[in-house]
Chains A and B, each alone.
Chain A
Amino acid sequence: MEDSRREFLKKAGVGSLVGLGVVSAISVIAEKTSIASSVGDAAADASGTRYGLVIDTKKCIEDCTVCSDVCHAIHNVPDHRLPDGKPDLKNEIKWIWKEPHVNTFPSKSGEFLSDDLAKKHHVVLCNHCKEPPCVRVCPTKATFKRADGIVLMDFHRCIGCRFCMAACPYGSRSFNWKDPRQADNLKVIGKDTGFDREFPTRERGVVEKCNLCAERLAKGLIPACVEKCPGKAMTFGDLNDKGSEIRKVLASNSTIQRKSELGTGPSVFYIV
């Protein structure tokens, strides 16, 4: 009798383990079917929307910072400063900014650049890639690719592991090493300067980057940087829409992408 009770317990134990295993396997398989959308299946996107930008570097005004200023203002991007007032580069957050030509396109030659290009700074931002490495590595899908091609951050879910920052080959991402509301431009709620009441700040401990103004797109507006650019250097649109203005610009201008050899499929094109 002792033995058969023991045998029964053994079988019950193994049986429940198998049962639990089957249940969890089914739920993991159900999750797996949603990988395609998070990794950015190229075939699926071809028929849907794919938002992109074309930046005409010839129209981009050299010392202008309007795109950067307006983006950082409406998105409450903190401007951390050191006690002496200089920018705190260690804790810096930036969504869109300017880099010299050789830093924007390091895989292109820097030898014997034209006089224009040698002095030129280009606008750099998240490329909202077709096959984003950041989405591939995020362990919680807090960085994900939306159906319309935008690579978005879900700040509610981000665990702050910063794997996406290591994965991004363009250096587009910033991490909140400290509380963003400690920055001078965000210290006081209720004041008009710098604080956009409509857009949340982020918390300490999450990664952030350009969101292609998803909140504006939801209202039928175009990204703020595109709208406010004084040189009208930026064109925004649906890359998959053959009749769109952005496709016309791409068809009639010679464009390049940043680090296209890496297979990321950037959605930001530069007329150089």
Chain B
Amino acid sequence: MIEKALTGSRKYWTWVAVLLVLIAAGLYAYGQQLAQGLTVTGMSRDVSWGVYIAQLTFLVGVAASAVMLVLPYYLHDYKKFGKIVILGEFLAVAAVSMCMMFVIADMGKPMRVFNMFFYPTPNSILFWDATVLTVYLGLNIFCGWVVLQAEAKHVAPPKWIKPFIYLSIPWAVSIHTVTAFLYAGLPGRHLWLTAILAPRFLASAFAAGPALLILLALLLRKVSNFDAGKEAIQKLATIVTYAALVNLFFYSLEFFTSFYSNIPGHMHSLQYLFVGLHGYNALVPWSWVSLILGVGAILLLLFPSIRKQENILAIACIALFVSLWIDKGICLILGGFVPTPLEHVTEYSVGSFEVMITIGIYAIGALILTVLYKTAIAVKQDAAK
């Protein structure tokens, strides 16, 4: 089936060429990082995780959001999602692949990555994160491919795939819960040491992922003649709206606990993010932009009459996606390291190779997505004939 990705219009091949150029630049930058060490990044003794782990955290959420299509369609027989479940599953494949690449990019000794499996350590959440992400990747490739192949052959999917599809539903929740556990169990980092971190992660995932899916569906309608259907997109928009509201609510709960209790350890990180701490305020503009974009997007999404207009819906989804990317991908991770356990402030400024590698990995993800989506659309269009 994948040979269908080898035929395409000029626009298609131009897009692939652009991605390949970005990937080549990323590979060059990664070569430099391998040669010189992680010192080329903006990370330091005090801010020991940076852009790479931030992207990993955000993309696990995007990957988990496939469940928002799988659950209604397979568990509740919501037939309107029938055409686009595959888009969610393949987005999960691309997102988890990017997660794994970001982990490799972040490791000090990437050649030793298999030590995690030679010396399994069940008390380490990172071990479980690696395990559940690998299984989730396998599940989505497997389920997506088998169902798509059945469609290509004009038959119903085989019965034995159903247990795997049903498994992927709680598994999607588990990958993001486990990722939240990476942070929520660390005793020295007060921005992360909160029970609501896992619910926050899930809520923002179910807002950001489906928002991206809406944008991809609208894009696919423009660049190919694959139409997800107005009802499906509107249902996704409803899911995004509720998830975004819940996420904003959860986030505001953090502010209440921190500032009403007046405990310095709880307040300091949020102060650093929104007003600055001891004169350091590099993340303040980012936090406010994220908040404004997020609230603005929710205001647009709240009213069905506005939500139904697809060009405004697109703007709201872009704003929400960017807002959540900043919040989870930048503010949460970098903010967790401020102040340091010794109550100092060290700020983080990204390195140029770091940016190139990040863009390169996103380009690889986009290429995986392009190839998979091209295959899926071609199969569905052939099947429709």
Stretch at the interface among B24-32, B88-96, B316-324, B336-344: B336-344
Rounded to whole Å, the gap between the CB of A125 and the closest CB of chain B is 12
Which residues of chain B have C-beta atoms less than 8 A from A230's C-beta? none
Residue B130 lies at the interface, judged by CB distance under 8 Å to chain A: yes
A162 to B108, Cβ gap below 8 A?
yes
Chain B positions 168-208 with a Cβ under 8 Å from a chain A Cβ: 182-183, 185-189
- Tell me, in angstroms, the Cα distance from A253 to B130 when the chains sit together: 47
One of A92, A139, A141, A179 near B37 (C-beta < 8 A) = A179
Interchain Cβ contacts within 8 Å, total number: 154
Chain A positions 151-186 with a Cβ under 8 Å from a chain B Cβ: 157-163, 165-171, 174-179
Residue B109 lies at the interface, judged by CB distance under 8 Å to chain A: yes
B186 to A133, Cβ gap below 8 A?
yes
Residue B305 lies at the interface, judged by CB distance under 8 Å to chain A: no
Given contacts A161-B107, A170-B341, A262-B187, contact A89 B121 (CB under 8 A): no
- Tell me, in angstroms, the Cα distance from A28 to B128 when the chains sit together: 13
A124 to B342, Cβ gap below 8 A?
yes
B343 to A102, Cβ gap below 8 A?
yes
- Tell me, in angstroms, the Cα distance from A158 to B188 when the chains sit together: 22
- Tell me, in angstroms, the Cα distance from A203 to B109 when the chains sit together: 9
One of A103, A104, A137, A138 near B186 (C-beta < 8 A) = A137
- Is chain A's binding surface mostly helix, strand, loop or mixed? loop
Which chain B residue shows the least CB distance to A205?
B108
Residue A31 lies at the interface, judged by CB distance under 8 Å to chain B: yes
B341 to A171, Cβ gap below 8 A?
yes
B37 to A176, Cβ gap below 8 A?
yes
Residue B124 lies at the interface, judged by CB distance under 8 Å to chain A: yes
- Tell me, in angstroms, the Cα distance from A203 to B103 when the chains sit together: 20
B126 to A178, Cβ gap below 8 A?
no
Stretch at the interface among B44-52, B74-82, B289-297: B44-52
Which of B46, B123, B336 is packed against the most chain A CB atoms within 10 Å? Answer: B123
B130 to A160, Cβ gap below 8 A?
no
Rounded to whole Å, the gap between the CB of A74 and the closest CB of chain B is 21
| Residues 86-105 of chain A, each 1 if its beta carbon lies under 8 Å from chain B, else 0 | 00011111100001001110
- Tell me, in angstroms, the Cα distance from A176 to B45 when the chains sit together: 9
A139 to B112, Cβ gap below 8 A?
no
One of B44, B106, B122, B343 near A91 (C-beta < 8 A) = B44
- Tell me, in angstroms, the Cα distance from A140 to B130 when the chains sit together: 12
Residue B120 lies at the interface, judged by CB distance under 8 Å to chain A: yes
- Is chain B's binding surface mostly helix, strand, loop or mixed? loop
Given contacts A166-B48, A176-B37, contact A136 B124 (CB under 8 A): yes
- Tell me, in angstroms, the Cα distance from A141 to B122 when the chains sit together: 10
Given contacts A161-B108, A176-B37, contact A136 B188 (CB under 8 A): no
Which residues of chain B have C-beta atoms less than 8 A from A103's C-beta? 342-344
- Tell me, in angstroms, the Cα distance from A179 to B38 when the chains sit together: 10
Residue A5 lies at the interface, judged by CB distance under 8 Å to chain B: no
B188 to A170, Cβ gap below 8 A?
yes
Chain B positions 1-54 with a Cβ under 8 Å from a chain A Cβ: 36-39, 41, 43-46, 48-49
Which chain B residue shows the least CB distance to A206?
B108
B108 to A31, Cβ gap below 8 A?
no
B116 to A171, Cβ gap below 8 A?
no
- Tell me, in angstroms, the Cα distance from A175 to B337 when the chains sit together: 15
A204 to B186, Cβ gap below 8 A?
no
Which residues of chain B have C-beta atoms less than 8 A from A68's C-beta? none
A176 to B108, Cβ gap below 8 A?
yes
Which residues of chain B have C-beta atoms less than 8 A from A162's C-beta? 48-49, 106, 108
Residue A263 lies at the interface, judged by CB distance under 8 Å to chain B: yes
One of A137, A177, A263, A264 near B124 (C-beta < 8 A) = A137
One of A138, A165, A175, A179 near B121 (C-beta < 8 A) = A138
B124 to A262, Cβ gap below 8 A?
no
Chain A positions 99-132 with a Cβ under 8 Å from a chain B Cβ: 99, 102-104, 106-107, 124
Which residues of chain A have C-beta atoms less than 8 A from B113's C-beta? 159
Which residues of chain A have C-beta atoms less than 8 A from B116's C-beta? 139-140, 159
What are 23 A-B contacts with C-beta separation under 8 Å? Answer: A28-B122, A38-B123, A39-B123, A89-B346, A94-B45, A137-B185, A139-B121, A139-B124, A157-B119, A159-B107, A159-B109, A159-B112, A159-B116, A160-B108, A162-B108, A165-B48, A170-B342, A176-B108, A177-B39, A178-B36, A203-B109, A204-B108, A262-B187
